[in-house]
Amino acid sequence: MTGPVTSNDVLSELRAALAPHGVFLRGVVGFAEEEAPVLTDGQPAKSVALLGNVGGSIWPAFQCWRDGRPDRGGENPLDRWSKAVIEPVAQYLGATAYFPSDPPWQPFQQWAMRAEGLQPSPLGILIHPQYGLWHGYRGALGFERELAATIPANQSHACDYCRDKPCLSSCPANAILADGFQITPCRTHLKTRQGEAGCLSTGCIARNACPVGAEHRYPVEQLHFHMAALNL
């Protein structure tokens, strides 16, 4: 590349490097110094590029990576795979990588609300106008330079227009209330035989009941994988 490296160059390289793994650039957040996450050199980040899956986009690449290892990726394989895919790109671009499951937890959902204009559903998961509840975050890259922040379109919030709200009525444990998700009844239910045959094998029934972006629902094996990871 000749001439100064622009924000567009960095984001294009990022897109090209991650797309084969089914990981997409979801948006970019710019920070004032006092709210910024810290880079590996101790300086505040000026911007963060948010990376994630849309629908089951990561599943084929993740499965292929797992199939190639004798330990199938060991403990927390999805977190290990995310690091294997994202860390080399961070290094190449001189960025700091953050991962959603690594403490201290970075505010991934707040970043997504700013970068993509999303809002939370009653399940606690942010709902996307196209992908519904079927998307997630695999990492983020912090930069010491300013990248052009994405300005979300003025998106309407799907839950405001959802008359029947099937997510509230379908949970067998009544864990989804209008004012939020209750962990204890959900966890208790998952340990029962009914929970094992239902949510644990085919995915959270309340999440599956949402009509928005239903065509992007994760494949059954992925639903099963995420539920098994929760039920520890």
Residues that bind ligand SF4 (CB under 6 A): 121-122, 127, 158-159, 162, 165-167, 171-173, 175-176, 186, 189, 199, 204-206, 210, 212
Min separation Cβ 105 and ligand B12, Å:
4
Q: Tokens standing for 28?
A: 């970019």
Residue 226, binding choice from ligand SF4, ligand B12, none, Cβ under 5 to 8 Å by partner class: ligand B12
Min separation Cβ 222 and ligand B12, Å:
9
Cα separations (Å) of 77 from 69, 100, 214, 226? 11, 14, 26, 11
- Nearest C-alpha neighbor of 82 from the set 23, 130, 4: 23
Q: Contact between 126 and ligand B12 (CB under 6 A)?
A: yes
Site size toward ligand B12, by CB under 6 A: 22
List the Cα angle 190/132/31 in 5-degree steps: 105
Residue 166, binding choice from ligand B12, ligand SF4, none, Cβ under 5 to 8 Å by partner class: ligand SF4
Determine the residue with CB nearest ligand B12. 124
* 44 vs 120 by CB, closer to ligand SF4: 120
Q: Contact between 106 and ligand B12 (CB under 6 A)?
A: yes
Alpha helices (runs of H) in the chain, residue ranges in sequence order: 7-18, 59-67, 77-93, 108-116, 166-170, 183-190, 193-197, 199-202, 205-209, 220-230
**For residues 114 and 29, what is the distance between their CA atoms, to the nearest angstrom?**
7
Q: Site for ligand B12 (CB under 6 A): which residue of 8, 12, 101, 201? A: 101
**For residues 27 and 7, what is the distance between their CA atoms, to the nearest angstrom?**
13
Q: Which residues bind ligand B12 (CB under 6 A)?
A: 100-101, 105-110, 123-126, 135-137, 181, 183, 186, 204, 226-227, 230
